[in-house]
Amino acid sequence: MTNVDENKNKVLLGASNLFLKFGFKSITMDDVARELGISKKTLYQHFADKNELVDQAIEAHLSEEKVACTNLSLEHENPIDLMLSISETLSDRKKQINQSIIFDLKKYFKPCWDKLNRFRVEFIYNEILKNIKSGKSSGWYREDVNEELVAKFYIHLVDLLINPDNNLEDKFNLKELQTEMMKYHLRGICTEKGLKYLNDQTIKTDK
């Protein structure tokens, strides 16, 4: 990696942290330059404008999500463990996000919001599909589960959680939402063996 690439990544990381704290709309290029201790000229050498900066911040975020998901898949052979771990990880990550950024993306940076949606309906869908197939072949999930349809159901559940129009976090905390969504999903597809294992894991987590 060249020094130019390293400097650009540092700028991108710093800007992403600002966006996570304060939202995308309120942070200006002046704010980013001032916070990072660089000139606006240097900032514009890496990014043509704020739209490009936001776009690349979203790209970097999605790349991190893919790596995290891959690592979790390598850590957990049991498909139920994998889903519970994904739920826990997503909950922890989302706690760090100012909820206004979701609203900002949808209203002011539509192309970036569309990228998030494509990630959900393509990458996440395929990961859930693989998990369902793995669970069926190993006896944790029911044989009669329609893999593609259930994976699509899951994607819509995710949308229910992240879409700011639903205002779910006005009534429920994030941990509760994430936990109940995952229980709803797994209890609908687990075999008796899978349900027993899920209940055992849930009891351990609650202690």
Whether 202 shows a pLDDT value over 80: the answer reads no
| Residue 7: predicted pLDDT | 85
CATH code assigned to 58-206: 1.10.357.10
Q: How far is CA 158 from CA 24, 70, 101, 128, 164, in A?
A: 22, 19, 17, 12, 12
Angle between helices 110-118 and 100-108 (to 10 degrees): 110
Q: Sorting pLDDT into bands at 50, 70 and 90, what band is 95?
A: low
Give per-residue pLDDT as tens, 64-85: 999 999 999 999 999 999 999 9
Average confidence score pLDDT of the chain: 88
Q: Sorting pLDDT into bands at 50, 70 and 90, what band is 115?
A: very high
pTM: 0.86
Answer yes or no: are the C-beta atoms of 109 and 51 closer than 8 Å: yes
From 33-37, 68-72, 96-100, the region with the lowest mean pLDDT: 96-100
- For the chain, what are the domain ranges? 58-206
CA distance 128 to 64: 18
For the stretch 23-29, contacts whose Cβ atoms lie closer than 8 Å and that sit 24 or more positions apart, written own/partner, are 23/98, 23/100, 23/101, 23/103, 23/104, 24/54, 24/101, 24/104, 24/105, 24/108, 24/109, 25/100, 25/104, 25/107, 25/108, 29/53
Give per-residue pLDDT as tens, 153-171: 999 998 887 776 776 766 7
Whether 206 shows a pLDDT value over 60: the answer reads no
Q: What is the mean pLDDT of residues 24-38?
A: 94
> Of 62, 61, 59, whose CA–CA distance to 47 is shortest?
59
Specify the DSSP class assigned to residue 121. I
CA distance 97 to 21: 7
Give per-residue pLDDT as tens, 130-143: 999 999 999 999 99
